[in-house]
Structures are given as C-alpha cells and as structure tokens.
Amino acid sequence: MLFEVLREAYKTNNVTEIIKFLAINGSNIHSFVPKQFHDPDIFDGVNKILKYTYLDLAAFYGSTKIFQELLKRIPKEIILESSEYHPLIYYALKSGNDETIYEVTESEYFTLKVGFIEALSLGKLFWTKKFFNNYKALNPNAKDEDLIFSICSDQEFRQESPLKLAIQSKNIHCVGFILNITTKEIPYLHYKTVFCNSVKQTPLHVAAKYGCSDIVTLLMNIYPAMVNMPKFSFVSGKKKTKPTPVFYALKHNPFPDFLPEMFNHSIPMTSINVADELNNTALNYAISNSDIESVKLLLQCNNLDVQYRATKEFKPPTHAAIRVCNLEILKLLMELPQTYPRRVDLYDNTIFHEAAYNNWGEGFKYLIENYNDLFEQLMRRTNKLGFNVFHVAAIYGSDQIFRVMYQRQTREFLECVTSQSVLNSGCVIHLLAANGHSEILEEFLSNIQTSINLDQIIMPKATSLHYAIKGGHEKCVKILRLHGAHFLDLPGFKSIVGPNYLYPFMLHLLTCDLDELREIEL
C-alpha cells in the first residue's frame, strides 16, 4: 500500500525522501494528501479525516525535521483550509512526540485555546494542564472557572462543554482536572451546537454513551439523581426530550459492565420507559444485543413497560427476543405476569410469525409446548400480508419450524398448511415451489399426514408446478412430479409462465416418464 511506503519515508525524517516519493507517484507537497496515500490510522473516532496536508502527516508521525522543512514550503492557505478539519496541534498531540508538539506550539498556526481543547479532547492530561496554565499566566486576575468557560465558548458555531470533552477522552484524570476547577456542569452540561440553540444532557449521558466505567462510578457518587434525568434540546423554540443515561448505556454498548453501578444506588428508576425518536426503549436495545444480564437488571424495575410497541426495526420485547433467538430472554419475558403474549408488531405478526421469520425451531418448540392454547388460537391468524405462520415459514425456507410440527400434526395444523393465503398467493406447497425450497418441499411431502392436491389451481390459474417452472426451480419440478403433480395446459398459461421458462431441459423434466426422471441428477 502506498500509505505504508509514505509512512516509512516519514520515519526516515528526511524531507528529500518525501519529495522523491511524491515525484515518483505524481503528487506534490503543495496539495492535500490524495486518497490513495491516506493512512487508515488517521481516524478521529467518528469519521475518516477527509482533508489533510503533508505537514499534518509530519506532525502525526512525529517527524520533526520534516515538519520544520515543510512548514516553510507549504502555502498558508492550504494549512488554514486543512485546519478546518483538524488543527496542526491535533496531529502533533496524536503523535505523542514532545519535540513535534513544541514545534507546532511555536508556529503561527497555534493558539492556547485551540491547544487546550484538542489536548483535553484527546485525554492528554500533561498538555491540558500546560496549555491551561500558560493561558492562566496571560490572565492572572481571572478565576480558573471563568477561564475554562471562556476557552471553550470561544468558537464561531458551537460552545464546547469542558466536562463533556474530558469525558469523551475517556481519561478519568482529565475529568478530575475539570471537576477540581468547576462543578457548574453538574447535573447538566451546557453547550450549543449548529443545529440546536440549546442542548441539555447530564455528564452521565456522555459517560454512558462512551462506555466509561470509571467515570460513570465517579459521576454516580457525585450526583446519583442524574441516572433519571433526561436529555433535551430546544430547536426553534420547541423542546425535544430524549432518554436517560441508562438508555444511552444500552444503545451504544452491547454489554455495559458499569450498568449495575447505575442500579446500585437507592434512586428508583422513574424514567426507564422513555424512548428515543424511533420509539425504542432501553429494554429494546438490551434485548437486541442479547444482553441477558442487562435485561435482568431492567426487569427489576417495577414500572418497566414490557408491552412497549416499538418500531419495525426493534419490535415488541417478546418479538425482539425471538429475533435474536435468545431462549433465556424469551422465557424471562413470557413468564412475567404483565406480558401480553398476543401482542403483534406493526405488521400484525404474532410471536409465532416472528419465530418463523427467523427459522428458530428451539424457540418455536418452547412456545407451542408451554403456550399451546395460545398457539391453537393464533395459528390461523394472518399478518397484514395475509400470511399465517406456516406461509411465512414456506416463504423464508424455515425448515426448523416444519420439523417441530411434523411431530404434532393436529387437524388445525393440517388445515393451516393446506389453506390458501389471503392474497391468493397459494398454500404452503405453492410458496415452497415458488421460492425454490426444494429440500423443505421434499421433506414436507414425505412427512405430511394428509392428502394434498398438488394440482390445486390458485389465482391466477396456476398450480404449484407452474410456480416452480416460472421460478426456474428444476429440483422443485422434479420433486412435484415424482409426488404426483401433473403439468396442466391451463388456459392463459403462457401469459403466466411464458415461453422463456419452457426451455428444452425444463420441457424434458416435464414430459419424460417417471423412471427416467428419478435417474436425472440435479
């Protein structure tokens, strides 16, 4: 990779090698670093940095001699444009090379305010203190607290929160440094952004989002009530409320080890059901991550709403547990007295539909064995697309669902698998053939304990064999014929299937005798 060659050139700390490299590869130091030279390590924690110069690279790699030389050569306007993404001091601090950092601080492109913010954001405690003390020396009569806020508010478009920056750095010593100067941002941080004229969230929101266990513990000891405080913002004068820190912990961290700390205080969780803009709660996210320990913690809250109707992405809690195929979580939810097992999602899918969508035989078996009366009542229920649970299993090729039912072929089950869907797309046989699930089709026809009319015609005047032909599913065609299906010359069939599907080999499968058909390998 070219960036590796370029990196090695910087490590030589010889500007001649850099210029030679650029000449060979068709670039020059007066331009931004082209994409093919981008180093994947130059990453700001959110996005790849889009624009940076060869001078930025020298700072990033700690190549002091190259930095000194390029500083003389690269046009000022290029350096200033690059600093709109990140200033030079950002790259120098990332390098950890004190000599390079010193060179940047001596350049015209450095200010103490910017240096302090970048050092604090990166968790560089030594340089954070140094830049602050240097700034303080220029303002000897000002209070430390006033200096901190004057530094962080001196931005054209946004007001930074010093405590928020410290928490995002994940360095508890930087957090301690800020808290020793000011506690004005507890319980709420105060800052502005381009999008909101006022935002309020607790420092605990930030610590929970970034997964900072030690900082969560520190903040909970200082102000435990923050655990119930929501985040909110004012946009065009309208207040928007968002969830509490517990929600952020679960949304942004699959298995937050600090969650017990948030529950171990005497503060009751009064806002545990607050949802985000997608109508998903903390419980939804814990389930979606298969985080059983967090689910158990949440279920300890007496006011937890386990019937929450979430969005199509996360579904009600019982459906969400089935989606991630977690039997332990499903059992916990189903055994709760407040759980309503008949609940459907936004598309009217029952918990049994959900098991079929995910081909989860273990969960399906648990449900029908422990909630058989419910299953008998909901078995025929169709979703908004007109499909019952077995139609869904046929469409998605959910062989495990059928295998569970082969052991308990009740009259209701046999009626369900032979009934046509509401939208006239056929019964289970038609749907298996149309979707090319040949192995399930063979298994189904071999195990089902009722007579099935394979020549059953559904709208628009087609049989299961016609569906298999139109899908080009040769194995399904063979299986259906061997089980007794006939190729019917229906009126209008060519408009349904079309001549393109009746290619020579398909015609041979349809017209050869059964003995020859058995010998054909597909």
Specify the DSSP element, H or E, that contains 241. Answer: strand 238-242
Query: Given 247, 267, 287, which residue is the final one in a domain?
Result: 267
Q: Is residue 93 part of a domain?
A: no
Looking at 267, 282, 299, the residue that finishes a domain is: 267
In a 13 Å sphere around the CA of 399, the CA atoms on its Cβ side amount to: 11
Q: Is residue 262 part of a domain?
A: yes
Per-residue pLDDT, 356: 98
Q: Which amino acid is at 422?
A: V
Asked whether residue 114 is domain-assigned, the answer is no
CA–CA separation, 234 and 198 (whole Å): 5
Enclosing domain of residue 500: 424-522
Q: Would residue 143 count as lying in a domain? A: no
- pLDDT given at position 16: 86
- Tell me if 129 is assigned to some domain: no
Can you give the pLDDT of all 522 residues of the chain as single tens digits? Answer: 677 888 888 888 888 888 888 788 777 788 888 887 787 777 665 566 678 899 999 999 999 999 999 999 899 999 999 988 899 999 999 999 999 999 999 999 999 999 999 999 999 999 999 999 999 999 999 999 999 988 988 665 457 789 999 999 999 999 999 999 999 999 998 766 544 456 788 999 999 999 999 999 999 999 999 998 988 876 666 777 778 899 999 999 989 999 998 988 777 787 788 777 777 888 989 999 999 999 999 998 878 878 765 565 668 899 999 999 999 999 999 999 989 999 998 899 999 999 999 999 999 999 999 999 999 999 999 999 999 999 999 999 999 999 999 988 998 999 889 888 877 678 899 999 999 999 999 999 999 988 888 888 776 677 888 889 988 999 999 999 999 988 766 555 655 566 677 788 988 998 899 999 999 998
DSSP state at residue 35: G
β-bridge mates for residue 159, sequence order = 192
1 burial via Cβ count (<10 Å: 0-12, 13-18, 19+): exposed
Q: Is residue 222 part of a domain?
A: yes
Tokens of 12: 């030589």
**Close Cβ partners of 81 (under 8 Å, ≥ 6 residues apart):** 51
Could you give the CA distance from residue 160 to residue 151 in angstroms, rounded to a whole number? 9
| Alpha-helical segments (H) within 142-263 | 144-153, 162-168, 172-181, 203-209, 213-222, 245-252, 259-263
- Whether 442 maps to a domain, the answer reads yes
pLDDT of 96 reads: 95
Nearest to 394 by CA among 312, 451, 476: 476
**The domain boundary residue, chosen from 248, 267, 286:** 267
Number of structural domains found in the chain? 2
Ordered strands of the 189-191 beta sheet:
189-191, 198-201, 231-235, 238-242
- CATH classification at residue 469: 1.25.40.20
Task: Output the pLDDT for position 245.
Answer: 93
Nearest to 107, CA basis, from 152, 78, 67: 67
**Cβ atoms within 10 Å of 190's Cβ, excluding its own:** 16
Instruction: Say if residues 14 and 65 touch (Cβ distance below 8 Å).
Output: yes
Coil, strand or helix: which one is 159?
Answer: strand
At residue 278's C-alpha, the angle toward residues 273 and 281, to 5°, is 20
Cα separation, 468 vs 383, whole angstroms: 25
Is residue 213 included in any domain, yes or no? yes
Tokens matching residue 174 = 């930087």
